[in-house]
Structure 1
Amino acid sequence: MEEVQNLISPEQMNTAVEWLSQFGLKVLAAVVVFIIGRWLARKIANLLKRGMERAGTDPTLIGFVRNIAYFGLLTMVVIAAVGQLGVQTTSFIAVLGAAGLAIGLALQGSLANFAAGVLMIIFRPFKAGDYIEAAGTAGSVEEIQLFTTTLKTPDNKIVIIPNAQVTAGTITNYSARDTRRLDLVFGVGYGDDLDHVKRVITQVLAEEPRLLKEPEPVIAVLNLGESSVDFAVRPWVNSSDYWGVYFDLQENMKKRFDQEGISIPFPQRDLHVYQEAS
């Protein structure tokens, strides 16, 4: 012990003790700042979560925003705690900014999908279970995630579409309304009585119980085609009955036309051959 005292002068010992005491106070202050800051960050994040739950925000977005807020605040707490140790945080923040910029550039495609996912969750152009057409694909929405949207096609295929592609084009939501209009076209021959055809179409529609009374169906001549007179038939149905009524009306109309002697012409041309005398 005496040898150690001989190596270290009293002035050096006092300086070391003073430095250790100052550094110890800085460490204590940094620990206190970190503990209190982390508690506040968790408290603020939970308050934000409860506020979003009361506002009826989508659960997927609630969890994500809560985590982003918590880790963002925790980063600020860590920087403040490091600053208590006497470390210059300006360079530290610059390094974090440069790293964030590099990561953002490397993941710009993923960030675009993420931003699109957040927008879809906020504005809700469709929800799980809706039948939509987006990015060239039609199907029922299975799941909306932050980066992708999963559709199930009518033939039971699963299609996963990046959210940026979903929001980049037109989104058609077939389930957004409770009712839909059937757009049917039936062609009859030019020799058929148009009044008779309209009466037959009206009778077939009246026999279909799934059609809505209001709005009333529209039956009108749509086009005078090359081989047929085309009737536009526009009844309304509940969205859940759309395809069932669509298929049944096509079949029932054909059968009734056959019973009533109404022709359904196929495309044809009349050829006239002239023979010239030699």
Structure 2
Amino acid sequence: MTGEVTGAQNVVTNTASAMSSNAATTVDRAVTHQITMTERILDKIQHFAETKGLDIVMAIVVLVIGYIVSREIKVWTRNILKRSNIDPNAIGFITEIVYFISLLFVMTIVFGMLGISTSSLIAALGGIGLAIGLALKDNFSNVASGIFILIFRPFNVGDYIVANGVEGTVAEIAIIYTKIRTLGNQMIAVPNNTMTSSIIKNYSHYDLRNLELVFDVGYDSDLRSCLHLIREELIKNPYVQDKEQITVYISEMADSSIRIYTRCQVKAADYFTARTDIIIAVKETLDRAGIDIPFPQLVVHQSEK
């Protein structure tokens, strides 16, 4: 009986020893495989660094320098155009195009240094460009609209316009957007496609701008005297340019007043200053003449019980 137990113990011991040996062999093989793979990877990295490392470093250096040079070319181009007789509207547009062409030239040099075939690159960029073009068709439409604005000039930089509900002075006509500075000193960027597809009111297109005002007087007023006083005030105002063609007439008998319409021409640059000055002058003249200027009033009657 003792012999049988001893034999069984020996079998178990031999089996455990065999399993331990197999496990150790497997671990050794795995470790050896990993070491071999690591060595191969390191060899490839070393080989790549020895053959292409310098090219990559030089390409990065060229890319950084090219970017800086492109920015300087952009600034230099803008300064040159500002000193020339070129239309101010085209300065921002041309500057952006020159900048992007410079960057494209730099990228071509960088890819060449990395050993990438420019012909294959152009073919790949053609396919990518088609996909991007379909995705960015609205932006290309904005570019085309920007060219349309520069050619047909519905407005120029510095003009005061109203377009698509936005009112202000044109600050810049760029490739994608037209930048407008509002009276509240806000910069609003409107897509060029939106500008060309909407009605544009350009108040700076002509040197002179019509100034239209309506003054209300009471029903008890002497209307002939009112017309005379208002006309005389417009004639002697220094901002009015067409003193011989001023328009003054009674336009309407409103609910609580008689309305007098006036129209004269002032310099476009002086429009808001002239408007304020004329309103104040006419108001003071009517006050001195004792002419009533009515305003809406609410009368409440209390019923007797």
Q: TM-score, normalised by structure 2?
A: 0.58
Following the alignment from structure 1 to structure 2, what is the Cα–Cα distance between the partners of residues 202 and 226? 24
In the comparison of the two structures, how many residue pairs are matched?
205
Offset, 1:213 = 3.0
2:259 is paired with a residue whose SS is strand
Distance 1:55 1:154, change over 3 A: closer
Counterpart of 1:113 (choices 142, 155, 160) is 142
Deviations 1:10-54 (A, max 9, x none): xxxxxxxxxxxxxxxxxxxxxxxxxxxxxxxxxxxxxxxxxxx99
Equivalent in 197, 206, 210 of residue 226 of structure 2: 197
> What is the letter of the counterpart of residue 250 of structure 2?
V
Give the 4+ runs in structure 1 shifted more than 3 A.
53-65, 91-100, 268-275
C-alpha separation in 2, matches of 1:130 and 1:234: 22
Name the structure with the higher helix share. 2
Corresponding residue number in structure 1 for 2:53: none
8 Å CA contact 1:227–1:268 kept in 2: the answer is no
Q: Counterpart of 1:145 in structure 2: which amino acid?
A: A
- Superposed CA RMSD in Å reads 3.4
Q: CA deviation at 1:62?
A: 5.4
Q: What's the CA shift for 1:206?
A: 2.3
Indicate which of 202, 209, 220 corresponds to 1:180. Answer: 209
Out of 136, 159, 163, the residue aligned to residue 192 of structure 2 is 163
CA displacement at 1:214 relative to structure 2: 5.3
Match of 2:291 in 1: 262
Larger C-alpha radius of gyration, 1 or 2?
2
Q: Which residue of the partner structure matches residue 6 of structure 2?
A: none
1:126 aligns to 2:151 (yes or no): no
* 1:208 alignment partner in structure 2: 237
180, 204, 211: which is aligned to 1:151?
A: 180
* Structure 1: gaps (5+ residues): 1-52, 72-88
Query: Within 2, Cα distance between the matches of 1:215 and 1:114?
Result: 46
- Is 1:221 aligned to 2:250, yes or no? yes
Q: With structure 1 as the length reference, what TM-score do the two structures score?
A: 0.64
Work out the percentage of aligned pairs sharing the same amino acid: 37
Measured after TM superposition, the shift of residue 274 of structure 1 is 9.4
Do the aligned partners of 2:250 and 2:258 also contact (CA within 8 Å) in 1?
yes
Query: How is 1:1-278 mapped onto 2 (pairs within 5 angstroms)?
Result: 58-59=90-91, 64=97, 98-213=127-242, 216-268=245-297
Deviation at 1:264, TM superposition (A): 0.7
